């Protein structure tokens, strides 16, 4: 009998150890469907290496509690939507402690009636699961503690009217492996459909109530329990405000854009968490969180593609109704890396069309960009064009950028009068025989144009409505003449000296 008890205890311990090594991240979001229905979704990421185990069988129990009172409102059964294995195909060149991660999406369509869900402070949803990936080195005892995934929603009514809202949704999971001693910018932004403001921050991951000693079943789940939920305990030398990822600089997030930056300096596996607060009219209405795991690995030598501008590189002016072309050479020090190029134009309303010829393939690659500007340009407009080159380096592509800034130099700007000649010599010697607007100013797309030239006594001696005008002096005597331009109703004044 004693042996059977020992065997049973050993089996329970093995089960606990198995469940104590698989959770690597996740988080909630929700979408309002109309008619008091909400689709609430949980993304659950787990290790799927050879020593890991499967997802919890069946549905997940998710609790809904009142904010402030922490009273249980309802327990929902979240069913499986989809399961995918994330792509590690490019990681064949590195040795990583994590080489397989799966994402399973669970959801429920919940009907939340305002007359029943009427708590004035709103509600929160929580799912708790044990246990975490034992490899996470920046937190204490990860194999013995759980995760508490948390979602806050606002009150369903405001001033006796239905308060409709959908939460932000994190768009991607852009980094499974990071190379040591490389600087990263990782887009962890969320998409928001209601036009609300979003604020991002790094936060403490929540461990909640689940741990390896209080499991009531073999799935690692615990029945929903109210908050507050305790945070993880950091290992010695780590902390939210001191050191999360052994980076130099360490992990930081842009509060406005959700862009994570870090330069990791040590090999290992680390846990981090992001919070995205949603604001409407200056008031916080909801929050979502995402926990994530970073595996820092030693990578082979990698080099960014180099982008070299070869023609028109100094053409830094946008000319109305004009075609401007640029040629680029893109090379990569890793000669067997292929290169893919793409283009981003920040304000396409300034151009009528463009072509970008950039065929992907092995280094070196040529690219040609041609831009046709339009006439709808105004003072202060600047066309910003960014050429991006990406190789297929292992384990992740290396990227580089080349930016063109083309300001529009408006004819309405008095500074352009400095470009006009102030002397001309109509003596039929073939040199400087005419007074005219240089080509850079001719292509102004001016809908209204006029020029009038007066002598020093105020007599009109020449006028034209053609921007291509050429004044030959009309056998007038040498001297100073005054020039008046009318361009789209803007009057510009200058002078010209006639010499023979």
> Cβ neighbours of residue 436 under 8 Å, at least 6 residues apart?
468, 469, 470, 471
The CATH-assigned architecture of domain 306-407 is: Sandwich (2.60)
pLDDT at position 176, please?
76
Contact by Cβ (8 Å): 398, 302 = yes
Q: Is residue 183 within 8 Å of 252, Cβ to Cβ? A: no
Closest to 316 in 3D by CA, of 392, 245, 390, 408: 408
Q: Where in the chain is the domain with CATH 2.60.40.10?
A: 306-407
The domain over range 414-498 is classified in CATH as 3.90.550.10: no
Residue 17 confidence (pLDDT): 37
Structure tokens at 277: 């607060």
Token representation of residue 463: 């006028």
CA dihedral 357, 359, 363, 365 (to 10 degrees): -20
* Tens digit of each residue's pLDDT, the chain (500 residues): 444 433 333 333 333 334 334 778 899 999 999 999 999 999 999 888 766 667 888 899 999 999 999 999 999 999 999 999 987 777 778 888 888 888 999 999 999 999 999 999 999 999 998 888 888 999 999 888 889 999 999 999 887 888 999 999 998 776 778 999 999 989 999 999 999 999 999 999 999 887 777 654 555 677 899 999 999 999 999 999 999 999 999 999 999 999 999 999 999 999 999 999 999 999 999 999 999 999 999 998 888 999 999 988 876 778 777 888 999 999 998 878 899 999 999 888 899 999 999 988 998 999 999 999 887 777 788 899 999 999 988 888 889 999 998 888 665 555 567 778 889 999 888 899 999 887 655 555 666 789 999 999 999 999 999 888 999 998 899 999 999 988 777 788 899 999 98
Q: Is 419 within 8 Å of 438 (Cβ atoms)? A: yes
Strands 161-162, 190-191: pairing kind: unpaired
* Cβ atoms of 29 and 170 closer than 8 Å: yes
d(CA 319, CA 235): 60
Q: What is the DSSP letter of 441?
A: H
Name which of 119, 200, 193 is nearest 156 in CA terms.
Answer: 119
d(CA 133, CA 176): 14
Q: For the chain, how many helices (H) and strands (E)?
A: 2, 33
Report the Cα 472 to chain-centroid distance in Å.
58
Measured distance CA(287)–CA(63) in Å, rounded: 16
CA dist 280 and 274 (Å) reads 20
Residues of the chain with CATH 2.60.40.3080: 414-498
Contact between 463 and 452 under an 8 Å Cβ cutoff? The reply is yes
Q: Which of 241, 86, 248, 252 is nearest to 180 (CA)?
A: 248
Sequence-distant (≥ 6) Cβ neighbours of residue 282 within 8 angstroms? none
Distance CA 371, CA 97 (A): 48
Quote the CA–CA distance of 481 and 373 in Å, as a whole number.
35
Quick one: residue 144, left, alpha or beta (phi over 0 = left, psi -120 to 50 = alpha)?
A: alpha
Q: Which residues pair with 110 in a beta bridge?
A: 38
Strand partners, 268: 296
Distances (CA, A) of 384 to 66, 319, 403, 407: 49, 14, 7, 8
Q: Tell me the C-alpha to C-alpha distance, in Å, between residue 356 and each of 204, 321, 346, 392, 468.
A: 45, 18, 15, 21, 32
- Nearest to 21, CA basis, from 141, 120, 168, 174: 141
The pLDDT of residue 232 is 94
Q: Is 105 exposed, middle or buried (0-12, 13-18, 19+ CB in 10 A)?
A: middle
């Amino acid at each position: 009998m004693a042996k059977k008890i020992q065997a049973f205890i050993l089996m329970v311990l093995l089960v606990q150890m198995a469940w104590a090594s698989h959770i690597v991240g996740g988080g909630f979001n929700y979408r309002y469907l109309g008619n008091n229905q909400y689709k609430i979704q949980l993304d659950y990421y787990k290790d799927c290496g050879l020593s890991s185990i499967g997802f919890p069988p069946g549905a997940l129990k998710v609790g809904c509690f009142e904010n402030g009172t922490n009273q249980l409102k309802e327990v929902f059964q979240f069913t499986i939507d989809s399961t995918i294995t994330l792509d590690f195909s490019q990681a064949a060149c590195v040795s990583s402690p994590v080489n397989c991660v799966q994402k399973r999406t669970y959801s429920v369509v919940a009907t939340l009636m305002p007359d029943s869900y009427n708590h004035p402070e709103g509600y929160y949803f929580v799912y708790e699961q044990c246990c975490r990936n034992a490899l996470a080195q920046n937190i204490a005892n990860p194999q013995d503690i759980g995760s508490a995934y948390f979602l806050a929603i606002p009150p369903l009514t405001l001033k006796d009217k239905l308060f409709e809202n959908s939460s932000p949704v994190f768009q991607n999971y852009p980094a499974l492996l990071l190379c040591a001693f490389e600087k990263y910018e990782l887009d962890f932004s969320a998409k928001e459909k209601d036009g609300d403001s979003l604020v991002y921050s790094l936060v403490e991951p929540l461990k909640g109530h689940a741990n390896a000693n209080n499991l009531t079943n073999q799935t690692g789940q615990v029945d929903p329990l109210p908050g507050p939920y305790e945070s993880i305990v950091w290992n010695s030398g780590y902390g939210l405000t001191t050191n999360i990822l052994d980076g130099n600089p360490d992990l930081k997030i842009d509060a406005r854009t959700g862009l994570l930056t870090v330069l990791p300096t040590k090999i290992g596996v680390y846990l981090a968490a992001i919070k995205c607060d949603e604001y409407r009219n200056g008031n916080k209405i909801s929050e979502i969180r995402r926990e994530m795991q970073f595996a820092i690995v030693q990578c082979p030598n990698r080099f960014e593609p180099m982008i070299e501008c070869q023609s028109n590189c100094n053409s830094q002016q946008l000319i109305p109704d004009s075609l401007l072309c640029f040629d680029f050479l893109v090379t990569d020090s890793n000669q067997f890396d292929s290169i893919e190029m793409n283009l981003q134009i920040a304000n396409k309303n300034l151009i009528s069309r463009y072509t970008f010829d950039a065929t992907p393939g092995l280094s070196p690659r040529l690219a040609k960009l041609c831009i046709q500007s339009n006439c709808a340009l105004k003072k202060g407009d600047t066309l910003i064009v960014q050429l991006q080159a990406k190789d297929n380096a292992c384990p992740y592509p290396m990227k580089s950028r080349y930016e063109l800034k083309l300001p529009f130099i408006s004819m309405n700007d008095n500074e352009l009068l400095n470009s006009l000649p102030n002397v001309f010599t109509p003596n039929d010697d073939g040199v400087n025989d005419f007074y005219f607007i240089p080509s850079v100013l001719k292509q102004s797309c001016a809908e209204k144009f006029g020029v009038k030239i007066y002598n020093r006594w105020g007599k009109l001696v020449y006028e034209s409505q053609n921007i291509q005008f050429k004044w030959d002096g009309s056998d007038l005597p040498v001297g100073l003449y005054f020039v008046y331009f009318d361009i789209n109703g803007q009057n510009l004044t200058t002078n010209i000296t006639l010499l023979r």
